[in-house]
Amino acid sequence: MKLPVSTEWLLHCAASLAQLEAGATASAAQLAQYFDLPAAYLAKQLQALVKAGALAATTGPRGGFRLARPASEITLLQIVEAVDGTSSPYECREIRQQGRGALSAEECQNPCILAEKMAEAHEAWRNSLATTSLAEIIAALPPSAPSRTRLRLTGTP
């Protein structure tokens, strides 16, 4: 099971946008140059984060992307699920209802215990990512990081 390579891109882009001054934006092209990433594909992924409510996009000559909410209210889970979707990695196709050992529909009114345990593990993963916000990520960076990020990303410290 693999997350898309772009998961790393969008986590870093969101963490970079979290270091801008209030109201400031960075364009997809600026973010692509900052990390040396393919601009068109990155722009598409940034729109997915807009759709998910993590980023806001502004148009016009000074348009670009910024956080849609305070960094303390945007979690790693929201970003990862905006990129990869929300479905569980485990797929239960109800093989307990097929073949020589098939259980009847009546016997399968409760979910399969194996599917339940796999769902619990997915919830543990989700909960772990839901407890970390972008604000916590920024707080873990060296104090000099935000002004450096702003200067290299937007040209304004």
Q: Where does this chain bind a copy of itself (CB under 8 A)? A: 1-3, 5, 7-9, 11-12, 15-16, 32-37, 76, 80, 84, 89-93, 95-96, 98-102, 113-115, 117-118, 120-125, 127-129, 132, 137, 140-141, 149, 152-153
Closest CA to 46 of 24, 60, 59, 64: 64
As given in the structure block, the two tokens for residue 119 are: 């769902």
Residues 91 and 28: their CA atoms lie apart, in Å, by 35
Residues 132 and 1: their CA atoms lie apart, in Å, by 22
Q: How far is the CB of 61 from a copy of itself (least distance, A)?
A: 21
Give the nearer residue to a copy of itself in terms of CB position, either 63 or 89: 89
Q: How far is the CB of 30 from a copy of itself (least distance, A)?
A: 8
Question: Parallel, antiparallel, or unpaired: how do β-strands 64-67 and 55-58 relate?
Answer: antiparallel
Q: How far is the CB of 126 from a copy of itself (least distance, A)?
A: 8
